[in-house]
Amino acid sequence: MPTLRAPAIRALAAALLLPLAAGCASGGSPAGDAAADPAAAPPPATRLLEYRDGETLLEGFLALPPGLGAAAPRPVVLVVHEWWGRTAHADRSAERVAGMGFVALAVDMYGKGRVTEDREQAGKWAGEVRGDAALSRRRLEAALAALREVDGADLARVACIGFCFGGTVSLNAAWSGMDLRAAVSFHGSLTAPSAEQGPGVRASVLVLHGADDPAVPAESLAAYHAAVREHRLDAVFVGFAGAVHSFTNPAADGKRSASSKYHESAARRAWEMAEGFLRERLR
């Protein structure tokens, strides 16, 4: 076999690397080159967005990735808040999603100004939405309708993610047959599609669960896994040992409840998994 000299080796390496580089440039992430180097990317543009569900005025937090426009449409991710209402946690999460290259809207499921630190009030509002499947889906669809006015928002590629109450809302949206590419639940209460709903589920599902979360009974866990198997859903389940409820929220310090506490490593890993999942499903 002939021996290749150094210049020939360099030329061969360049020839092999050229198609790889071209493939990365032509495909890649929805955020383009900036996503590969987050430090070099400008921050998302943000603003409040008012919209309505019938007579109810809602106010979301819109985060837009750099370079958005009709010539460079981006997928849409709805971000659903915890049961307290649309707080800073949901807004910062929307900014994080926009930093991935997606149009992100922290939606309002309750109504403008309806935010509380009172557990009883939060539970009442959450119960009203969770207990009315039509209302819950309508609030999400109202958010999507508002995004029709955002130049460059690609409503053919939509995901819904959420935290605690919002995670449950995201799962229920998937079970309802809503036209979603993906649904992600961060430490949400687990629900399962009914026998009638199962065949109509379109979304791929990612559940990021606190393995020590006392708010999710074993029966709910078993029913979820049984439904996934029965309906052969495209679903991924990850349980984080040592993590409880609200493990992605730095404001959850365990003082209100020992069962709701931030877990740094679980939060970091969950976000990494969610980002990879969204990139795969929304490409």
**Which domains does the chain carry?**
44-282 (3.40.50.1820)
| pLDDT value at 171 more than 90 | yes
Average of pLDDT values for 114-126?
97
What is the predicted pLDDT for the residue at 260? 94
Average of pLDDT values for 163-169?
98
> What global pTM score does this model have?
0.85
- Pick the range with the lowest mean pLDDT from 3-17, 59-73, 204-218: 3-17
What is the predicted pLDDT for the residue at 106? 98
Average of pLDDT values for 128-141?
97
Quote the mean pLDDT of the chain.
88
Q: pLDDT above 90 covers what percent of the chain?
A: 81
Confidence of residue 16 (pLDDT cuts 50, 70, 90): very low
Amino acid (1-letter code) at residue 61: F
Average of pLDDT values for 28-53?
68
Tracing tokens 């198609």 back to the chain, one arrives at 19
Separation between Cα atoms, residue 158 and residue 126, nearest integer Å = 23
Tracing tokens 């929307």 back to the chain, one arrives at 94
Phi, psi of 157 (to 5 degrees): -130, 100
Separation between Cα atoms, residue 145 and residue 35, nearest integer Å = 27
| pLDDT value at 261 more than 90 | yes
Separation between Cα atoms, residue 93 and residue 29, nearest integer Å = 19
| pLDDT value at 4 more than 60 | no
Average of pLDDT values for 156-172?
98
Average of pLDDT values for 21-28?
30
Confidence of residue 40 (pLDDT cuts 50, 70, 90): low
What is the predicted pLDDT for the residue at 45? 95
Average of pLDDT values for 63-72?
92
Separation between Cα atoms, residue 174 and residue 172, nearest integer Å = 5
| pLDDT value at 18 more than 80 | no
What is the predicted pLDDT for the residue at 94? 98
Separation between Cα atoms, residue 68 and residue 62, nearest integer Å = 13
What is the predicted pLDDT for the residue at 39? 53
